[in-house]
Structure 1
Amino acid sequence: MTSSPSRPRKTPRVCFLCGNISRSGGTERVATVIAGALAERGFEVSILSLSHGERAVFPLHPTVRLHSLHMERHSANFSDVRVWSRLRRFLKQNGIDRVVDVDMVLSWYSIPASWGTDATVVAWEHFHLFVNVGDWPQRLRRYAGRRLAARSAAAVVTLTEKDRRQYLRRLPGRAPVFAIPNPVTIAHDKRAPLDARLVLAAGRLVPQKGFDLLLEAWAQLSSRRPGWRLRIVGSGPERAVLESQATRLDIALSVDFAPNTTDMASEFQRASIFVFSSRFEGFGLVLVEAKSFGLPVVSFDCDCGPADIVRHEQDGLLAPKEDVGALASALDRLMSDEQERRQFGQIAFEDSRFALRHILSQWERLLA
């Protein structure tokens, strides 16, 4: 008796490969949102972490399965060969059709592991081509992973059109390159009232985010705008340094530091202006989130991200990269003009370019 042929699946099985989905960063938040939205549309979706990852910090669709290779148990003899072997076994055992690397460093693992399986790899860039962070082994793997992806991935996804062009120019290969921005990840329909004298900033407290530059800018204008406060939401190794800087600049009484929170909606609702001071970014998800609440934005025009999100003189103001004086002037302009704040905020709220439904349709076409 011969067995009947298996019934073909209507949609592919998709695996999002992460370092650790239990982290609370923007990358993990976007991955859980996209994974859950695909599951809602009928995709079979799993999230695989290299280490830990037994639980997601952010809400997850109930049908999305979490897995881990638990490489933290092998830290003493961690090796690329061990990761390749474990990942290949997972792909085969679970019948994975598409692997989405949630960081280009992971392409160093996923592409060799996929050889000899039915899985194809989509490499998702979360920085931009000229940014490479981490310790030297991680930087080396990301460098190699990007080049391997350009040659061998089914597709490369960047967050901005500018970075897409950089990939095509600097790393020409067989893989098609698509620019798909990150979507709004906080579901809501209520605008911030913009009635508080509060400027909000948010992000991990590390040098990349430029909060030291923001404090310098705040020191130039806070005395001219009594009653206004700056609130910085985030955790990280630079907190003590930044608090000391605020004291040294004599602005500690008008600056609040709050720890990282999963309830950013409440923070956006209380603010009247959002300020973004990063030295570099791959995108700037928090800008998209702030605008979705109708907050006017002041941002450095760092490489890749802000200029794709903020429409200068329409829903926010862009200052030259790391120009503290220009950032202070832009903040001062919005702090002193309630009518312009509200006008910019209305236009920001109506910007639908980053709505999840628009972004998801692009991912659906790519993975189908």
Structure 2
Amino acid sequence: MRIVYIANKINGTTGLERMISVQSNYFVRNFGYDVQLVLIEQNENNLERTFFEVDNKIPFHFINAKKGPKKSYFKLVKSLNNLLPGLEPDIVMVCIDDIAWLYVPYFLKKNYKIVYQRHSTKDINLNRYYKGLKTKISNVIKSKLVLFGGNCYDRFVILTNDHRQDWKFVKRLSVIGNPIILDAEGNRAELNNKVVLAVGRHDPVKGFDMLIDSWAAVLEHFPEWTLRIVGQRITVIDLRKQAKDLGISDNVEFLEHTKEISKEYLNASILVCSSVIEGFPLTIVEAMSFGIPVVSFDCPYGPRAIIKNGEDGILVPPKDVLALSESIQHLIKDNNLRKEMGEKAQINIQRFAKEKIMKLWQDLFEELHPN
């Protein structure tokens, strides 16, 4: 079976790019599929082909092959119509969250099945940072376009059942969560280090500003503990300044995104997810696979689909900084509870084992394209 992915790029550090590489590698190595990647924004001039490892059997095709202005949407569609027939795909997998791509099958000349893989909530397509009448009108229009998009796909794959409310007009929905990506190799974090971990880019949606506020309250009672935030720094928000202004810089560490993230999990005792919204947070899955209990805002949509509240982690009301701080402190001071939750986390998360999740993909492909 030949699977052709369409994505913006594969050389970044996002969860979607990571998942594309994981799926592609697995399909090639375990199912014997022929997988190819069609990239819209990345081109052959990029110095780094991928951040995450991609099997060398998987060829890349660049739509914007040279530097210069990006192609318009309809020029992209034309390029795809020129490229895809020659690739002879059985299934095309679209992994782009832009609104226009919800409608792209209407414009493709195809004799193949086309699947949309959605990792973000519909709100990602709205303007979250600016206010005003123009933004309000624009968001209303975008909301309608998103709401009614996606029905032209042969299958529309979402991450959790809670995401169904975003896509209530899509008829051919399937739910396939993300798998455990990191292999803990039987290792479990000892949970003795006085380190609380958070992982993600410095984007307002990750809520690290609220986490740092909550951490200031934690330090009033546990000044020997450290908060370690691992992720790409962007210019939208200055978390270092916030920590400095609160006088807690000595207890907050910032690390760039690393391919050696396993070491950070093994050195941590608690993971915190302070996001405003999460489709399906890979960092929670990864941390639990290392036997780390998680404290998370019960934000839409992912955390509640992963964490069993009070059993392998703690869910607190969204944006409740005080509750977040109190729950962190609860796990800090109760060593036995922290370790009991960690043990259950490593067991419970196996429902997202890679073999189980990839079998769901295989079943979907074979249903769409029977041999």
TM-score normalised over the length of structure 2: 0.88
2: CA distance, partners of 1:259 / 1:134: 27
- 2:72 corresponds, among 79, 102, 108, to 79
Deviation at 1:74, TM superposition (A): 4.4
Other-structure match for 2:197: 200
For 1:44, the equivalent position in structure 2 comes to 34
Instruction: Select between 245-254 and 235-244 the one with higher mean Cα deviation.
Output: 235-244
| Alignment deviations for residues 27-75 of structure 1 (CA, whole Å, 9 cap, x no partner) | 1001110111111211111111102255221112232222211266341
Pairing of 1:156-305 with structure 2 (within 5 A): 156-168=156-168, 172-173=169-170, 175-189=171-185, 190-238=187-235, 241-305=238-302
Give secondary structure in 1 for the equivalent of 2:60: strand
Inter-partner Cα distance in structure 2 for 1:167 and 1:233: 32
Q: Equivalent residue for 2:132?
A: none
Q: Which residue of 2 aligns with 1:3?
A: none
Provide the C-alpha distance between the structure 1 equivalents of 2:43 and 2:264, rounded to a whole number of angstroms.
27
Which residue number corresponds to residue 5 of structure 1?
A: none
Q: Alignment partner for residue 33 of structure 1, among 13, 22, 28?
A: 22
Alignment RMSD (CA, Å) = 2.2
Q: Secondary structure at the match of 1:353?
A: helix
Gap change, CA 1:42 and 1:53, over 3 Å in 2: farther
Question: Is the 2:196–2:226 contact (alpha carbons within 8 Å) kept by the matching residues of 1?
Answer: yes
Mapped contact 2:147–2:167 kept (Cα < 8 A): no
- Indicate whether 1:121 and 2:114 are aligned: yes
Distance 1:143-1:127 versus aligned 2 partners, 3 A rule: farther
Query: Which of 96, 105, 111 in structure 1 is aligned with 2:105?
Result: 111
Question: Are the equivalent residues in 1 in contact too, given 2:203–2:237 (CA < 8 A)?
Answer: no
Aligned residue for 1:227, secondary structure, equals coil
Is 84-93 or 52-61 further displaced after alignment?
Answer: 52-61
Q: Give yes or no for contact 1:156–1:178 (8 Å, CA) kept in 2.
A: yes
- In structure 2, the residue matched to 1:56 is 50
What residue is the counterpart of 1:367 in the other structure? 365
In the alignment, is the contact (CA less than 8 A) between 1:128 and 1:163 conserved in 2?
A: yes
Question: For each residue in 1:84-118, what CA deviation from the matched residue of structure 2 results, as whole angstroms up to 9, or x when unmatched?
Answer: 0111111111101211111332634741453x321
The more displaced of 158-167 and 215-224 is 158-167
**Equivalents in 2 of 1:107, 1:121: separation in Å?**
12
Report the CA distance shift for 1:110/1:66 in structure 2 as closer, same or farther (over 3 A).
Answer: farther
Q: Is the 8 A contact 1:279 1:302 kept in 2?
A: yes
Q: For the residues of structure 1 that align with 2:283 and 2:85, how far apart are their CA atoms?
A: 37
Structure 2 unaligned regions, length at least 5 = 129-134, 367-371
Q: Which residue does 2:328 correspond to in 1?
A: 331
Aligned residue for 1:14? 3
Conserved in 2, the CA contact under 8 Å of 1:202 and 1:232?
Answer: yes
Q: Which runs of 4+ in 1 moved over 3 A?
A: 71-74, 133-136, 138-148
Q: Distance in 1 between matches of 2:339 and 2:87?
A: 51
1:109/1:22 CA distance change after superposition, 3 Å: farther
1:328-368 per-residue CA deviation (whole Å, 9 max, x = no partner) reads 00000001111111000001111211111111011111112
Q: Assess, with a 3 A threshold, how the Cα gap between structure 1 residues 231 and 257 changes in structure 2: closer, same or farther.
A: same
Please, which moves more after superposition, 242-251 or 99-108?
99-108
- Tell me if structure 2 keeps the 8 A contact 1:91–1:119: no
Question: 1:236: Cα distance to partner?
Answer: 2.5
CA separation of 1:134/1:111 partners in 2, compared to 1, >3 Å: closer, same or farther? farther
SS in 2 for 1:21: coil
Query: What 5-or-longer segments of structure 1 have no aligned partner?
Result: 1-10
Letter in 2 for 1:164: R
Letter in 2 for 1:155: R
Moved more, 102-111 or 246-255: 102-111
157-166 or 245-254, larger mean C-alpha shift: 157-166
CA gap of 1:358–1:211, structure 2 versus 1, over 3 A, is same
Where does residue 153 of structure 1 map in the other structure? Answer: 153
Question: What is the rounded CA distance, in whole Å, between the counterparts of 1:144 and 1:119 in structure 2?
Answer: 25
Does structure 2 conserve the Cα–Cα contact (< 8 Å) formed by 1:108 and 1:142?
A: no
Report the AA paired with residue 149 of structure 1. G
| 1:308 and 2:292 matched | no
Q: Report if aligned partners of 1:298, 1:318 keep a CA contact under 8 Å in 2.
A: yes
Match of 2:369 in 1: none
CA-CA distance at 1:293 after TM superposition: 0.7
Q: Distance in 1 between matches of 2:255 and 2:209?
A: 16
CA distance 1:224–1:292, shift in 2 (3 Å):
same
Q: In 2, are the aligned partners of 1:273 and 1:295 still within 8 Å (CA)?
A: yes
Change in 2 beyond 3 A, CA 1:75/1:59: same
Output the TM-score relative to the length of structure 1. Answer: 0.89
